A and B are shown apart, each in its own frame.
Chain A
C-alpha cells in the first residue's frame, strides 16, 4: 500500500463547476497536509495546507481533512481553464511524502 495515494486522473471538469481532488494516507500519526499545484513542465507550488480536522478555505480553494478516515481533499470552486494542472498531495509525519498527483483538466 502506498503511503499517500491519489487517483492519477485525468479528471475533466467543465469550466465553472467544482473540481474535487482526493488523497488518502496510511500513517495515522500524520500531522500536516499540503496541496501543491504543478503546471506542465514547471515546478510544484504550494497552494493550501491544513493541520486540523475540518475545512480550510482560501479564495476558490477549500482543503478538507478527516483524520479518522485518513483522507484529505481539495475543492476548487468556479473552476477556470487556468486551474488545469497536476495537483500533488503531500503528507507530513516524521517525513514529508508526496502522492503521485492527479491531473486536472478544466473544459471551457
Chain B
C-alpha cells in the first residue's frame, strides 16, 4: 500500500541545471499537487492538477513546469535551477480537489530535499 511515492528523496544541483521530480499515487485520486516547504513560510502551492489532463498555477509557479502524465503520475520540472529553489518539495493527492470542492483531504509523499548551489 504505497500511497504517494516521490523520487528522488535528495538532490543537489548546480545553478542552471535542470531536473524533474517524479510523483505517483496508487489511490486512484483525481487531483494532484506540488508544494514547497520553507522555514517560516509554511507549505506553498506550486502547481496542481484537479483532474487528468488539466494543470493550474498555484501561489509560486515561477521557475517550474508540470506534466500530468496520466491519472497516477504528476511530475515537476525545474528548467534552470536557482538557489531560491532550495527547499523541501512535497507531492500530494486527493480524491477530488480544486476551487469547487470542500473535501480536500491531502495525502502527501515523503518529500524531496533539494539544494541548489
In this complex, the interface size class of chain B, counting residues with CB under 8 Å from chain A, is 20 to 34
In this complex, the interface size class of chain A, counting residues with CB under 8 Å from chain B, is 20 to 34
- Give per-residue flags for B95-109: 1 if the beta carbon is below 8 A from chain A beta carbons, else 0: 001010011111111
Q: Does B53 contact A (CB under 8 A)?
A: no
From 58 to 108 in chain A, residues with beta carbon under 8 angstroms from any chain B beta carbon are 88, 90, 92, 94-96, 98-101
B108 and A45 contacting across the interface, CB-CB below 8 Å: yes
Of the listed residues A51, A94, A98, the one surrounded by the most CB atoms of chain B closer than 10 A to its CB is: A98
Q: Which of B43, B97, B102, B109 contacts A88 (CB 8 A)?
A: B43
Q: List 18 A-B contacts (CB under 8 A).
A: A8-B40, A31-B102, A32-B102, A32-B104, A34-B105, A43-B108, A44-B43, A45-B108, A90-B106, A92-B104, A95-B45, A95-B58, A95-B99, A96-B104, A98-B42, A98-B43, A100-B40, A101-B42
